Structures are given as C-alpha cells and as structure tokens.
Amino acid sequence: MSHKFSRRKFLRNSLLGTGAMTLGFPALNVSAQEAKIRCGVVTSLSGANRFGGNLTRRGYDLWAEEINKLGGIEIAGTRYPVEMFYGDAQSQPASGADAAERLIIQDEVDVLFGPYTSGVTLAVQPISQKYRVPMISGSAESPNVWLAKPAFNFGMIPAVDLTTDKSMVVLADTLGDRAKTASVIGVDEPFSKETAEGFRKGVEESGLDLLSYELFPAESDLSAIVSKLKSTNPDIVAVGGHESVFINFVNTAKALNYKPKALIMHYGVTSAAFINETGSESNGILGVSVWTAGLPYKDDLFGTASDYSDLSFSRWGTRPDYTEAACSASGLVLQDAARRLGKAPPWNQDTRAQLAKAIEDTDIETFYGPVGFAKEGSHYHNNTKPVPVVIQIKNGDVVPVAPENASKGELTYPIPGAS
C-alpha cells in the first residue's frame, strides 16, 4: 500500500479524530469555580411537551434575572449571583435523566429546577437523590410523582387530584340547581388522565349525574367525541388535557355546531396561547388555576401577584399562567432556604442534604401564595397549600368566579350561544 495521502485516509482519520474529540471533550470541560449559586434546569425544550417546558423555563429565568438585579441570593450578609444551566429533556424520561446527570456532574450545579412533565420528573428523581441535589419542581402535577416519597424533590403545585375534584365541587355548588348532569373527557396520557379522573371524582362527590366518562388517544380526531357530547348535551363538560387538545376541541366543537353550556378545562386555559389561538371562542370557558394575577398575595422580590404579572408581561410579551408563577416562586423557596441554611456556595453533598432539609421546612408567603411542603402522606413534599380557584375567560381576561371568597366576577352560565 502506498503512503500517499488519499481522500479515504483523510476521511478515515478525520472520522476517528471526531470520535476521539467527542469522547474526550466532556472530560476536559472543567471550569473554574466562582462564588456563584449554580442552578440547573431540566425541562422539555423540545418534543411533545415543549410548550409547557418553555413556560417553565420562562418562570425560572424570570426569577434568576430579578434576583441577579439585586446582586444575587443573600446568604449571611453576602449576595451570591445565580447562574442558570439548561438541560433539554426532549420530553423523554431518559433524556431528562441524561440531562440531570450532565448538569450535576459537568456543570456542578448546586440545585435543580424540575421538569415540566411528571414522567421526566420520575426519571430524574433517583438521580437527584443519588447525588443529593435538591430539586424544586415548579410544574409536575401528577400525584404519582410524590408516591415514592422523594427525599430531594419538592413540588410547588398541588397535585391534580387535589385541585380538579375540589374545583368541580365548587363549580357545582355555585351553579346549584342550574346544573344536573356532567360529562368528563380526557386525553389518555399521564397528566391529562389524572385530571379527568379528578373531575370525575368531583362530579360524583357533588351529586351531579355523570353522563359519560371517556378517554381518547393523544392527537386523535375529536369529531366523534364532540358528536357524542352533542347528542347527550350535558350541563357541564370537563376536559382533561393540554392546551393543544383544548384548541382542537374548541375548534372541532364550533365546526360541528356544538357549544356546551359550561366547559371546564384545567391546564393551559389561562395561558396566553390558548386565548390567542381560540380568539372569541375562548369566551366563557372555565378553568382551574391555583394562581391568578388577581389574588391578594405578595412578597419582597416580585411584589404583588399583579406586579408579577406585569413584570412577566413586559419581559416575555404574554401574561403568565400558574406554571410560570410557580416556577418563579421555586426560586423564592431556594432563596429562603439558602438564607436559613446560611452557608456560602459551592455546596457539597452534606450541605446540599441540609439544604433539602431547609427546603422541607419552608413556610413562606410569596406572590404565588403560601408555600409549605407536606412531610408525610401520599403527597409527600408536595406544596398542598394553594387553593384552586375556578376562573372564567371573559373577553380575553382571566376572571376568578368561584369559590365565593376569591371571586372577582359573576359566573356566566350558560355560555352565551350554548346548544
């Protein structure tokens, strides 16, 4: 064989070189430590749940920007700036686990902010536990997340089984004799199915007549579902799903000349995208939210709930929903726990375990509402304090309508133009 430089040889060598580089590169990536608090965000920036994943990121980022304007988190008289690192979970549990491990090992984060979905959260939990990195989840809402009693994971939003049945009962009480029957539909996927089950439980508890309960696969055509609802026309229709399903449901129902007398959904109704995309059709739709800008909560960093809403609007151009609010509030929890811990970063494993203990003892008021984590039971480490409110969309605004003490407006029933 000749020793001349050939194209094949060149290609072969560059191929091997690239392989070696990719293998070797991560190991070289050792950066100098500064006195910063390094926060890792594992969330779905792509894949099926990219919509909500990016909302969580906005929430976490907004907190980081605001606290850094003040110079960072104050611990024992000194302020330590916050640095954010991101890992895309690609809406897949395994990628979430990869991302968490990378953030912990290579970016050496002191604390994690949790994924958008419950599935990814479940896959990340063992890793946060293994390396003793506290993880504050501003989003995961499935009750399954808390069943395994994760020592290092804390959830800001009460699990859906706590919120949906309560709000269905509240809605039924408010409507009184006007509503007698209800139907529940939901997407057959983790969060949505539990939402639908919560609604069903609420229907049974409130003594309404359950006309139908039906799950359907994600991305299926909704004309059959809508036609069936139309033929029985229940007084309340409850939908468990994400915002894209709501948009399709509303569009399909309109095209089939059907408008339920009351339509209640859960996540995503309060998001700006839903209101924009459905336009005037969103008018009168009910939602469950653990937070709205009208609530009378406040804290030192963000001010009142409505101040937060204005800030978020000026930063991102859309009004925040409760996921963004809960994610921003996750930062406040960290701030408070770090202050009580009183140890300067970087934190080693033992300090992080103490930090987790400090987070467990959280008892604060924020713009998002009161935060405190359950220390036992089936909702271990879930913040069960927020009370769900039933909201109604009126001309593009989100208005709390029930329960009575949180109400800012009259519940419109039936929705004008209902079948």
Element at 78 (helix H, strand E): strand 78-80
Work out which of 37, 38, 39, 53 binds another protein, going by CB under 8 A.
53
Residues 113-152 that bind another protein (CB under 8 A): 119, 122-123, 126-127, 129-130, 142, 144, 148
What is the residue type of 251? N
220 binds another protein (CB under 8 A): yes
Q: Considering the complex, what minimum distance in angstroms separates the CB of residue 384 from another protein?
A: 20
**Residues 287/393, Cβ–Cβ less than 8 Å:** yes
Work out which of 151, 210, 273, 364 binds another protein, going by CB under 8 A.
273
Q: Which residues contact 181 (CB under 8 A, 6 or more apart)?
A: 208, 209, 210, 211, 232, 234, 235, 236
4 binds another protein (CB under 8 A): no
**Separation CA 402–CA 388 (nearest Å):** 9
Give the nearer residue to another protein in terms of CB position, either 251 or 306. Answer: 251
Residues 94-113 that bind another protein (CB under 8 A): 94-95, 97-99, 101-102, 104-106
Work out which of 217, 296, 317, 417 binds another protein, going by CB under 8 A.
217
Nearest to 416 by CA among 391, 397, 392: 392
Work out which of 2, 69, 177, 231 binds another protein, going by CB under 8 A.
231
Q: Considering the complex, what minimum distance in angstroms separates the CB of residue 407 from another protein?
A: 30
Q: Considering the complex, what minimum distance in angstroms separates the CB of residue 84 from another protein?
A: 9
65 binds another protein (CB under 8 A): no
Residues 17-36 that bind another protein (CB under 8 A): 19, 22-23, 25-27
Q: What is the DSSP letter of 254?
A: H
Q: Considering the complex, what minimum distance in angstroms separates the CB of residue 315 from another protein?
A: 16
235 binds another protein (CB under 8 A): no
Bridging pattern class, strands 153-155 and 181-187: unpaired
Give the nearer residue to another protein in terms of CB position, either 230 or 298. Answer: 230
Over its C-alpha atoms, the chain yields an Rg (Å, rounded) of 24
Q: Considering the complex, what minimum distance in angstroms separates the CB of residue 29 from another protein?
A: 10
Residue range at the interface with another protein (CB under 8 A); choices 15-23, 75-83, 306-314, 378-386: 15-23
Give the nearer residue to another protein in terms of CB position, either 102 or 385. Answer: 102
Distances (CA, A) of 369 to 251, 296, 336: 34, 8, 15
**Separation CA 125–CA 129 (nearest Å):** 6
Work out which of 88, 235, 299, 324 binds another protein, going by CB under 8 A.
88
Nearest to 60 by CA among 322, 336, 330, 382: 330
Residues 313-352 that bind another protein (CB under 8 A): none
Work out which of 188, 307, 310, 365 binds another protein, going by CB under 8 A.
188
**Separation CA 102–CA 327 (nearest Å):** 21
**Separation CA 171–CA 152 (nearest Å):** 36
What is the residue type of 25? F
**Separation CA 61–CA 166 (nearest Å):** 31
